[in-house]
C-alpha cells in the first residue's frame, strides 16, 4: 500500500458498467479516497443530488457504496459539491446560513453513508472571501470528524482563503491538468506556502493532451506521482477521473492513468 493518499473521482453523470467506466463496486482496491461527482448547491442552504444521479440511479449509487463498505472497509467515500448555474447558487455568496448548511451536510453524510465532502468552488464571478470561509467553517463545526477537501487551481484567487481554512481542511486538490509539468510543480510549491505540503494532492486528468481536452500526459502523471515539493512530502495524487479513463476517450488502454498513479505513488 502506498504511503501517500490516492484520491480518485467517479462521475455519477457518466454511464458505468459494460463498455463504460467502472461501476462503484469495481473501484480498484488501491484507491484510498473515492469522490462522487457532483451534488449542486441549492437555495435554502441545501444541496441537490440530481446531477450525481443523471446516469446512475440513487439506489444503484447507494448499493455501490454499501458494496464498497464490505469489500474495501478502509476506503473513504466523499461527495463533491459544486455551484449551480440555475438557480444561481455559488460557493462565494450562495450560503446565507453556514450553521444550517453544515447541519444539512451532516445529515446528507449520514443518509448516504459518506465520510465527508469535497468543495469544488469554481465560481469566477467573484473571489472567495469571508462568506466562503464561514461556510466551510460551518461544515467543520457540524462535522468535526468528516473529511473536507477543496479543489483549486487559481493560486492568486484562492491562496488567502486556503491559508485561513488550512486548519479546517484535510487537504486540497490542485486542478491545473492543462499545465506543463514544471508549471504544475511550481503551482504546488506556491500552495505549500499557505498550507502544509502534507495536505496537497496533485490533480491529473485522464484524457488526451491539448487545449480542449486538457489531459495530463502519462509521462507527467508518473513524474508527478513520484515527486514531492521541497517543503515536504505531498498528501498524494488526485485522478480526474476513473469514469472516463477509457481508450475511446483517452487514446490509451482502459485504466492507463489509474494504473500509472498506482505504479508510481510512493
Mean pLDDT, contiguous 10-residue spans, the chain (266 residues): 93 97 98 98 98 98 98 98 94 97 98 98 91 98 98 97 98 95 98 98 97 95 98 98 98 98 98
At the topology level of CATH, where does 5-264 sit? Answer: TIM Barrel (3.20.20)
Nearest 5°: CA angle at 205, between 166 and 25?
90
CA-nearest of 237, 214, 217, 215 to 226 is 237
CA-nearest of 263, 147, 150 to 203 is 150
Q: Which residues pair with 231 in a beta bridge?
A: none
User: Can you give the pLDDT at residue 124?
Assistant: 81
- In this structure, the strands spanning 5-11 and 236-240 are parallel
> How far is the C-alpha of 196 from the C-alpha of 106, rounded, in Å?
26
User: Can you give the pLDDT at residue 174?
Assistant: 98
User: Can you give the pLDDT at residue 125?
Assistant: 81
> How far is the C-alpha of 149 from the C-alpha of 60, rounded, in Å?
25
> How far is the C-alpha of 78 from the C-alpha of 80, rounded, in Å?
7
DSSP state of 84: B
User: Can you give the pLDDT at residue 141?
Assistant: 98
Domain extents for the chain?
5-264
Is the N-terminal amide bond of 170 cis, ω within 30° of 0? no
User: Can you give the pLDDT at residue 1?
Assistant: 63
What pTM did the predictor assign? Answer: 0.98
> How far is the C-alpha of 121 from the C-alpha of 128, rounded, in Å?
8
Amino acid at each position: 500500500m502506498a504511503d501517500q493518499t490516492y484520491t480518485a473521482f467517479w462521475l455519477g453523470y457518466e454511464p458505468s458498467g459494460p463498455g463504460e467506466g467502472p461501476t462503484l463496486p469495481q473501484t480498484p482496491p488501491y484507491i484510498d479516497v473515492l469522490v462522487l461527482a457532483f451534488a449542486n448547491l441549492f437555495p435554502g442552504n441545501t444541496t441537490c443530488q440530481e446531477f450525481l444521479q443523471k446516469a446512475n440511479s440513487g439506489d444503484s449509487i447507494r448499493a455501490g457504496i454499501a458494496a464498497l463498505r464490505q469489500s474495501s472497509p478502509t476506503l473513504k467515500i466523499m461527495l463533491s459539491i459544486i455551484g449551480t448555474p440555475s438557480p444561481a447558487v455559488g460557493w462565494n455568496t450562495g450560503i446565507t446560513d453556514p450553521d444550517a448548511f453544515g447541519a444539512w451536510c451532516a445529515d446528507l453524510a449520514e443518509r448516504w453513508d459518506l465520510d465527508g465532502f469535497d468543495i469544488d468552488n469554481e465560481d469566477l464571478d467573484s473571489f472567495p472571501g469571508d462568506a466562503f470561509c464561514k461556510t466551510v467553517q460551518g461544515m467543520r463545526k457540524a462535522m468535526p470528524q468528516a473529511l473536507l477537501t477543496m479543489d483549486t487551481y487559481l493560486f492568486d484567487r484562492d491562496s488567502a482563503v486556503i491559508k485561513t481554512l488550512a486548519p479546517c481542511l484535510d487537504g486540497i486538490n490542485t486542478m491545473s491538468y492543462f499545465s506543463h509539468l514544471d508549471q504544475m510543480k511550481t503551482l504546488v510549491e506556491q500552495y505549500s506556502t499557505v498550507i502544509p505540503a502534507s495536505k496537497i494532492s496533485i490533480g491529473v486528468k485522464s484524457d488526451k493532451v491539448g487545449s480542449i481536452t486538457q489531459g495530463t500526459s502519462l509521462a507527467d502523471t508518473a513524474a508527478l506521482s513520484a515527486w514531492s515539493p521541497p517543503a515536504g512530502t505531498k498528501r498524494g495524487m488526485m485522478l480526474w477521473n476513473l469514469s472516463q479513463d477509457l481508450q475511446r476517450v483517452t487514446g490509451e488502454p482502459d485504466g492507463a492513468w489509474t494504473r500509472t498513479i498506482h505504479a508510481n505513488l510512493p
